[in-house]
Amino acid sequence: MDASLLYMITAVLFVAALGGVAFAFVGGSSAAAQKRLAQVGQSAAPNAQGGRTPDTNNLRRKNVQELLKDLEKQQAAKKQRPTVRRRIEQAGLGWSMRTFWLISAALAIGAAALSSITGQSLIVTLLAAFAAGFGLPRWLLAFLKSRREKKFTNEFANAIDVIVRSVKSGLPTTEALKIVAKEMPEPVAGEFNTLVEGLKVGVSLEQGLRRMYDNMPTAEVNFFAIVMTIQQKSGGNLSEALNNLAGVLRDRKRLKGKIKAMSSEAKASAMIIGSLPPAVMALIYITTPDYIGLLFSERLGNLMLGGCVLWMAAGVFVMHKMISFKH
């Protein structure tokens, strides 16, 4: 086959792969969801007696709506990519930035040395060093952060139940938070201990909850912060509100379990399909290295290998998009 034709096929594959990656990250239109939210917001629930709602309830509802708008504005303003230091804190690691960069440099040097020893080309060596020094540490932080958030979410509803029982027994909210910080397992105890220590030195409850959400950016912590902030500013029955929140969190947990069970077959299929090409490539490299060695030694082979990587990445992203459900 002519080399120009191979270059043309490789270019077409590159363009198609980039299009697949873009398609994987493009979300659906939210116009219908916004329309439904507007209709729900405009519809007024009738009173039980068919009359008008008392002015006090209307005023309180308006205050709560204004407070929710302010909280949404604050969260929208804070929606930015977290720094590496923030990722380290969210992962629950006590590393300094110097330690992180030293580990990254050591991984990059080790990958480059291993690639050079095996006789790989300069492009492959640079790609291996970049993947090991830049991508692997950040993937590790994301994995540890996700695992820590799962542990926190599994025990968070129980922590709220402890707060509800403590408030019902007559204890103040601060003492209830201290009980959670002492009795609950990690990482729930650590986050509530940080909140309690902040309250001791004069940090307001709203600021402390905001810091908790920065360290544990989950929807459950966001719900808890909203409930506590609304109760502090507008009043109300705290134990009842937190009890309802605990029920909502348990319903979310059950929904996650159902989604995991229903999508397990699709996830298994995606894992098998995604792992087949690298596995076959590794087997061919072990059995007949000369047959596949052209992909690493020739320039055209490097381009074809890069196109295959992009194409596989597009397929993995699309499959991940298909089996991921928002709830």
For residue 53, pLDDT beyond 50:
no
Q: Which element (helix H / strand E) includes 105?
A: helix 97-117
Determine contact, residues 154/250, Cβ cutoff 8 Å.
Answer: no
Given a cut of 70, whether residue 229 has pLDDT beyond it is: yes
**Region 266-294: what's the mean pLDDT?**
84
Measured distance CA(54)–CA(52) in Å, rounded:
6
Q: Residue ranges per domain, the chain?
A: 84-262, 263-327
pLDDT exceeds cutoff 50 at 44: no
Question: Rounded to a whole number, what is the distance in angstroms from the first to the last CA of the chain?
Answer: 51
3-state secondary structure of 201: coil
Does residue 327 carry a pLDDT above 70?
A: no
Q: Is the pTM of this model over 0.85?
A: no
- For the segment 156-179, the average pLDDT, to the nearest whole number, is 87
What's the pLDDT at 106?
92
Burial class (CB in 10 A: 0-12, 13-18, 19+), 82: middle
Q: What is the pLDDT of residue 315?
A: 82
Q: What is the pLDDT of residues 191-205, one digit of tens each?
A: 888 888 888 888 888
Residue 2: what are its φ and ψ, rounded to 5°? -65, 145
Work out the percent of the chain whose per-residue pLDDT is above 90: 3
230-257 pLDDT, tens per residue?
Answer: 877 777 777 888 888 888 888 888 888 8
**Of 48-57, 218-227, 232-241, the least confident:** 48-57
Amino acid at 295: L
pLDDT of residue 45: 43
Of 23-37, 257-271, 292-306, least confident by mean pLDDT is 23-37
Query: What is the percent of the chain where pLDDT is above 70?
Result: 74
DSSP string spanning 222-268? HHHHHHHHHHHHH---HHHHHHHHHHHHHHHHHHHHHHHHHTHHHHH
Q: How far apart are CA 238 and CA 230, in angstroms?
A: 10
- What per-residue confidence (pLDDT) applies to 267? 81
Q: How confident is the model at residue 102 (pLDDT cuts 50, 70, 90)?
A: very high
Alpha helices of the chain — where are they, by DSSP H? 3-25, 31-42, 55-77, 84-90, 97-117, 122-130, 136-168, 173-183, 188-200, 205-215, 219-234, 238-262, 264-287, 289-292, 294-297, 299-323
What is the Cα–Cα distance from 92 to 145, expressed in whole angstroms? 7
Q: Is the pLDDT score of 283 beyond 50?
A: yes
Query: Which of 11-15, 31-35, 68-72, 214-218 is modeled with the greatest confidence?
Result: 214-218
- Whether the per-residue pLDDT at 70 is higher than 70: the answer is no
pLDDT of residue 60: 57
